[in-house]
Amino acid sequence: MAVASATLGPWRPAAVVGALGGGVSLALHLVGGHFGLGILSSALSVAALLFFCVGGAGAVLGYSSRGAGRDRRIRRWARSHPWQVATVPAGMMFLTDLVVRQALTSQGFFGSVWTGLWHGAVVAAVVGVAGTFSRSRA
């Protein structure tokens, strides 16, 4: 159910937010005079973090780029179980960050795992807290 509800998030707008955030991060590094694959991995990590935060939060809040009347039972379940839904984008953030850092940097495996874990924890916290506060408000 968590995977099904996470797929109902506003993933197109999340991609736009992620691309903008990653682009700004890359531009700031380039303006600062930093060059190399490390800044590219950092920009991709920022983009993925924003993508999964916006998409996951939209899934637990009930926003979607699809029709509003679709999948009402899954949306109700997502609103009542925000922390379970948060595990899906958090896990995807962990995997994405791990792969990006292993492919583009010389960071060791355990360092990449640690960085991916805390980035995934940030996504889980944002999505879970957004869902919890929206549920208590409703």
Q: What is the pLDDT of residue 74?
A: 80
Residue 127 clears pLDDT 60, i.e. is over it: yes
- How far apart are the C-alpha atoms of 111 and 63, rounded to whole Å? 35
Q: What is the pLDDT of residue 72?
A: 77
Q: What is the pLDDT of residue 2?
A: 78
Assign 115 to helix, strand or coil: helix
Q: What is the pLDDT of residue 23?
A: 95
Q: What is the pLDDT of residue 67?
A: 52
pLDDT (tens digit, 9 = 90+) per residue, 56-104?
A: 998 888 776 555 555 778 888 888 888 999 999 999 999 999 999 999 9
pLDDT (tens digit, 9 = 90+) per residue, 31-48?
A: 988 788 889 999 999 999
71: left (phi over 0), alpha (psi -120 to 50) or beta: left
Domain boundaries, the chain: 2-137
